[in-house]
Structure 1
Amino acid sequence: MQKRWNGLWGSVCLGLMLSGCGGSGGMSGARPAEMNIALLGFNDFHGNLEAPGVAIRTTNAAGQSVAVPAGGAAYLAGAIAQRRSANQHMAVVTAGDMVGASPMVSSLFLDEPTVEALNLMGIDFSATGNHEYDQGSQELLRMQNGGCEKYTSKEPCQISKPFKGAQFPFLAANTLRADGSPLLRSSGVKFFEENGARIGVGFIGTTLKTTPRMVRQSGVQGLTFADEADTANALIPALRAQGADVIVVLIHEGGYATSGLQDASCAGLSGDILPILDKLSAEVDVVISGHTHQAYLCDYQRVNPAKPFLLTSAGRYGTLLTEVQLKVNTASRKVTAKSARQIIVQGEAITTGSTKVPLQTEFPVFAADSAVSQLVSTYRTAVAPLAAKISGVLDGSALRSANSAGESVLGRMVADSMLHATSDAASGGAQIALMNSGGVRADLVPESASGEVTYGQLYSVLPFGNNLVVMSYTGEQLQRLLELQFNSGTNTVTQPRILQISNGFSYEFDLNQPAGQRIANMRLNNDPIQASSTYRVAIQSYLSTGGDNFSTFTEGKDVIGGMIDLDAFVAYVRERSAQQPMALPTTPRIVRR
């Protein structure tokens, strides 16, 4: 039977669906004056079923800085199980981007294995992030409800026949259909009981309202994304009526902080989540956030005394779990104390490049969950033959790390592959290619001294499956769209979003100049770009609809569609390395004044 989670969940607990829901400590003791409730939160998992090769930098008991290897779905499940055994009352929740931009072992199967792994972990509620909409709203509903309907170019139900969908509700309170109804569930309540005391914790899930600028327009057609704070505040009375004593907001928006891993001082807190926090009701007790891939803890009343909630984020890729501890007075039904800590999901040693990161035994080492391990193994085996296929040879490592102008070697390489695939007249006659940096998802490091790279590695660089698009823009429009790198929504002077550019195109920028005058000396093959002349530009379908706040891209004319970006990238690497290792594009094309 299909599951349907639309609208508010009633006050019933649905204990069979939510593990530990309504758990009772029995009636043998006296009614407690306080109840301890734990929340485990994480965010931006992005289908990282296998250990992502990430080390968490922290400080040990001796005050020394150490790198702790982290991540892997089986170890994440093991950590959740260990914390569940240590806490009588606990909920496990996420703040979005569980799927999308995933490694091949998940994304090749439309992230079905990630949802299945989350089911095994016993997730209670999951907010949607922008990446949950990457494949469109119908595919998101399939992720929730299950089934094998085909909504994308990839085949569903390749392993699981049928795919059963998420056994937990996705929450998307501010994602609305044309008639104003929510696309998915808005909120839910989990109840905890102990010796006659009963406390309800209400959860509201929202994605960032700028989601339409971050995904294909066709994927969110007919949907609107309402203000995050206004939506959450409006739901609190209904949650109270259902019995929620504690209010938790799961939001896929985030910030940045300069504080240490376990420091809740909010030092250096900045980012797009701040105006949302300042609009949220003071009735909110905890905000579990995401999107920026940053780890932070923040006692927000230190920033705004009128907003005494706890703010957390657990970084990315399942490398951290945030454990929030709440003390709730069972008479007043109010939170009397709250704290949070980050748990590093350490399970196995890793190697990043040529650096080995050993286990740090002074920090907890978690056992792998056997069921999740078996699940990951099944999908790894299925994908292995294609992933291991050699697709080219490089003369070095192509990395995403950017220079002072925001360019990376791998970004240039991807842009060059786009231009190569679209430069002939039949494919669009592109003269320039522009690539969004955020779409380049993994470094390309040869696995051996010979420089060989595999299809699986190339897939990890471009996992979204965007189509290439060629459109015409005037020189004046090119100037305006490049200016948007520094002055458009989340693209700012302090946090610019630099587009990667193809060979032959170049320009300079000066952030000390006024908005609209920062781009200068645009050239194509050393000839100045003329404001009134028309140029053919290759971009991804994501950017063509104004993604990443680049609204000027929507002004393009004479559209010609092209192949999938990954296919273009694979063909380019294979061709350029057919006779000898491919030389990497190390020469800068953008000059920062």
Structure 2
Amino acid sequence: MLKFQIMSSLVILVCITFGICIFTVSSQNQSTVTQSTSNHYVRVQLLGINDFHGQLNKYRRVSESMAGGAEYLAAYLKKYKQENPNTLLVHAGDMVGGSPPISSQFQDEPTIQFLNLLQVDVGTPGNHELDEGVAEMKRLIFGGFHERTGYFKGANTSYISANIIDKKTGESLLPPYVIKEIDGIKIGFIGVVTTETNMYVTHVNRKEVDITDEVSAINRTVKQLKEKGIKAIVVLAHISAKSNQSGTNPQEALVEMAPKIDDEVDVIFAGHSHHYANTVVDDKLIVQAYSYGEAFSQVNMEIDRNTNDIVSKKAKIIVTSHNQIEPDKNTVTFLKKLKEKMGNQFNQIIGFIPQEISRRQDVNGESPFAKMIADSERKAMGTEIAFVHQGEMRGSLQRGNLTLEDLYTQMPFGHSITKLILTGAQIKLALEQQWRKDQVNNMLQTVGLTYRWDPNAPIGSRIIMLKDSKGQNLQPDREYEVAVSNYLASGGDNFSAFEEGRIVETGPQVVTAFLHYIEQKYPMK
């Protein structure tokens, strides 16, 4: 990769000598040749999406306009592809997982079908692609049989990942890279997923693979591409990034990694954190387009035909505003067939919510929605204590009639409730694990307990008071019945303390217990 300073000097020298080219400087300090360059440079457009999560029929308000939905995302992508024949469509993971019923009820096959309709060229798995295990992820990619849905043909997209390692072979589970040729230029794409996958995906569902260091995997694969003469390299990274709209104040994990990544990498598509990112760090362009199809990334590159180097790159994050485009007709037809297949069962009204039940946490980490889920789990299992992790819900419940689809959209994971026997010491350990070194705090929602903590105490020693619902101190050696999801019971979100418990009973799905709770607490008017 040629640095901007060198290229600027060369372009200025050519301009002075031959008087044939004019250039402008973009907001990323990249020179963009704008005249008499058609023979020397190839203009390539990359369109990227991330964290779609099967949101085929869901819309959200972004910047005073409704956005999202498969039919609008498809319309925008088709429009932009038509404007430049040298276009590749890519994604940075979490296309499935945490999906609403229109996708989740069919094992997320509809979302893969939608990606096939879009003709996505290259993608990489996110952590949620592993939610149901390695075999199910591979079935969605390569095709195969499922007892609920029958045979599925799989994805047309080239899936890559350099740091999901098969434990049996020691090799990448998927190809670490793919090379795409466009207008005579070869572009290398590398895929990686965040090592946080080791925290968010249960041991059972990732027991066949290791998720290894992202930077090492990228640099190792860059070396392989360079040995093949590839100099235009793009990374699809399901790793968090964030910036201001102006590109200033870049933050999060990928930003910290960027200076350690080989300088032959010019462009990185981010994901995982659902934030906006359009910034340059260490001369690497980093983009992330929110989530749920609310926006997409447009990256325009110019590649030198003689050197095969990317000599300029700039990006826009484009919101899929409904008032700017007509929905794609083919996708509208596709969605209509899916809704007919799903039937009317999810239109059922199950209760009336008098005011918003918020997922958001207050300054103490308390979430009203999560508290209610914990209470419903405790009642369903007849326990004194219940815990809920914040990731159990995807959003808040809005005021008004609550449908089954609303509920399954905000509680999509299908976790079941488990009754555990835990000692007081094990419960205290679980609470201590809410604070992690070099990680964002991950506060549990609890019922049947009260506790205080010292934020200035060392991590692992912050709980200073812990009482049961009767106001009695929890005894370290006494055993207590506790309700948690099977996800937490298996150590999900790195709450390993729950794995030490003794399972005595498995109950209904978390969403089913909450449904009964809502029907009793907020019956239909």
For normalisation by structure 1, the TM-score amounts to: 0.78
| Aligned residue number for residue 76 of structure 2 | 79
Distance 1:468-1:461 versus aligned 2 partners, 3 A rule: same
Q: What SS does the corresponding residue of 1:501 show, helix, strand or coil?
A: strand
- Matches of 1:210 and 1:403 in 2, distance apart? 24
Q: State how 1:525-540 maps to structure 2 within 5 Å.
A: 525=469, 526-540=471-485
| Aligned residue number for residue 512 of structure 2 | 567
| Aligned residue number for residue 16 of structure 1 | none
Percent sequence identity over aligned pairs: 31
Shift of 1:367: 2.3
- Give, as a single letter, the amino acid of the residue that structure 2 aligns with 1:551: S
Q: What SS does the corresponding residue of 1:527 show, helix, strand or coil?
A: coil
- Give, as a single letter, the amino acid of the residue that structure 1 aligns with 2:59: P
- Matches of 1:172 and 1:549 in 2, distance apart? 23
Deviations 1:274-319 (A, max 9, x none): 4432331111111111101111111102xxxxxx211111111011
Alignment counterpart, residue 99 of structure 1, candidates 96, 99, 105: 96
**Conserved in 2, the CA contact under 8 Å of 1:205 and 1:251?**
yes
Shift of 1:488: 4.8
- Matches of 2:438 and 2:506 in 1, distance apart? 28
Shift of 1:246: 0.8
- Matches of 1:408 and 1:384 in 2, distance apart? 33
Distance 1:488-1:560 versus aligned 2 partners, 3 A rule: farther
Distance 1:537-1:489 versus aligned 2 partners, 3 A rule: farther
Note if 1:484 corresponds to 2:433. Answer: yes
Shift of 1:507: 1.8
| Aligned residue number for residue 230 of structure 1 | 216
| Aligned residue number for residue 4 of structure 2 | none
| Aligned residue number for residue 379 of structure 1 | 338
| Aligned residue number for residue 26 of structure 1 | none
Q: What SS does the corresponding residue of 1:528 show, helix, strand or coil?
A: coil
Alignment counterpart, residue 285 of structure 2, candidates 290, 303, 310: 310
Say what the alpha-carbon RMSD is for the aligned residues: 2.0
- Bigger drift between 564-573 and 119-128 goes to 564-573
Q: State how 1:313-462 maps to structure 2 within 5 Å.
A: 313-347=288-322, 359=323, 365-423=324-382, 430-447=383-400, 452-462=401-411
- Matches of 1:207 and 1:381 in 2, distance apart? 35
| Aligned residue number for residue 18 of structure 2 | none
| Aligned residue number for residue 413 of structure 2 | 464
**Conserved in 1, the CA contact under 8 Å of 2:242 and 2:288?**
no
Q: What SS does the corresponding residue of 1:476 show, helix, strand or coil?
A: helix
| Aligned residue number for residue 108 of structure 1 | 105
- Matches of 2:437 and 2:97 in 1, distance apart? 24
Note if 1:182 corresponds to 2:172. Answer: yes
Deviations 1:44-80 (A, max 9, x none): 0000101332x223xxxxxxxxx23211111111111
Shift of 1:509: 2.9
Structure 1 unmatched runs, 5+:
1-28, 58-66, 302-307, 348-358, 360-364, 424-429, 582-593
Shift of 1:459: 1.1
- Bigger drift between 399-408 and 120-129 goes to 399-408
Q: What SS does the corresponding residue of 1:173 show, helix, strand or coil?
A: coil
- Bigger drift between 383-392 and 367-376 goes to 383-392
**Conserved in 2, the CA contact under 8 Å of 1:214 and 1:548?**
yes
Alignment counterpart, residue 156 of structure 1, candidates 125, 140, 149: 149
| Aligned residue number for residue 489 of structure 2 | 544
Q: What SS does the corresponding residue of 1:548 show, helix, strand or coil?
A: helix
Shift of 1:41: 1.0
Note if 1:50 corresponds to 2:57. Answer: yes
Shift of 1:537: 1.7
- Matches of 2:257 and 2:428 in 1, distance apart? 32
Alignment counterpart, residue 293 of structure 1, candidates 255, 262, 274: 274
**Conserved in 2, the CA contact under 8 Å of 1:43 and 1:97?**
yes
- Matches of 1:202 and 1:484 in 2, distance apart? 40
Shift of 1:512: 2.9
Note if 1:199 corresponds to 2:185. Answer: yes
- Matches of 2:88 and 2:209 in 1, distance apart? 30
Distance 1:488-1:382 versus aligned 2 partners, 3 A rule: farther
How many residues are matched? 488
- Bigger drift between 524-533 and 74-83 goes to 524-533
**Conserved in 2, the CA contact under 8 Å of 1:468 and 1:538?**
yes
- Matches of 2:366 and 2:82 in 1, distance apart? 47
**Conserved in 1, the CA contact under 8 Å of 2:239 and 2:271?**
yes
- Give, as a single letter, the amino acid of the residue that structure 2 aligns with 1:169: S
**Conserved in 2, the CA contact under 8 Å of 1:68 and 1:346?**
yes
Higher percent of residues as helix:
2
Q: What SS does the corresponding residue of 1:148 show, helix, strand or coil?
A: strand
**Conserved in 2, the CA contact under 8 Å of 1:175 and 1:224?**
yes
- Matches of 2:503 and 2:342 in 1, distance apart? 39
Shift of 1:30: 9.8
Shift of 1:224: 1.0
Deviations 1:433-467 (A, max 9, x none): 111111211322244xxxx3221122122211112
Q: What SS does the corresponding residue of 1:180 show, helix, strand or coil?
A: coil
- Give, as a single letter, the amino acid of the residue that structure 2 aligns with 1:215: V
- Matches of 1:558 and 1:548 in 2, distance apart? 18
Deviations 1:302-346 (A, max 9, x none): xxxxxx211111111011111111111111221111111111111
| Aligned residue number for residue 14 of structure 1 | none
- Give, as a single letter, the amino acid of the residue that structure 1 aligns with 2:344: P
For normalisation by structure 2, the TM-score amounts to: 0.88
Structure 2 unmatched runs, 5+:
1-35
Q: What SS does the corresponding residue of 2:145 show, helix, strand or coil?
A: coil
Alignment counterpart, residue 144 of structure 1, candidates 141, 145, 154: 141
Q: What SS does the corresponding residue of 1:285 show, helix, strand or coil?
A: strand
- Matches of 1:32 and 1:254 in 2, distance apart? 37
- Give, as a single letter, the amino acid of the residue that structure 2 aligns with 1:432: I
Note if 1:173 corresponds to 2:169. Answer: no
Shift of 1:489: 5.6
| Aligned residue number for residue 524 of structure 1 | 468
Shift of 1:378: 1.4
Q: What SS does the corresponding residue of 2:152 show, helix, strand or coil?
A: coil
Alignment counterpart, residue 258 of structure 2, candidates 268, 277, 292: 277
- Give, as a single letter, the amino acid of the residue that structure 2 aligns with 1:316: S
- Matches of 1:497 and 1:330 in 2, distance apart? 49
**Conserved in 2, the CA contact under 8 Å of 1:199 and 1:245?**
no
Distance 1:110-1:489 versus aligned 2 partners, 3 A rule: farther
**Conserved in 2, the CA contact under 8 Å of 1:216 and 1:541?**
no
Shift of 1:558: 4.2
Q: What SS does the corresponding residue of 1:404 show, helix, strand or coil?
A: coil
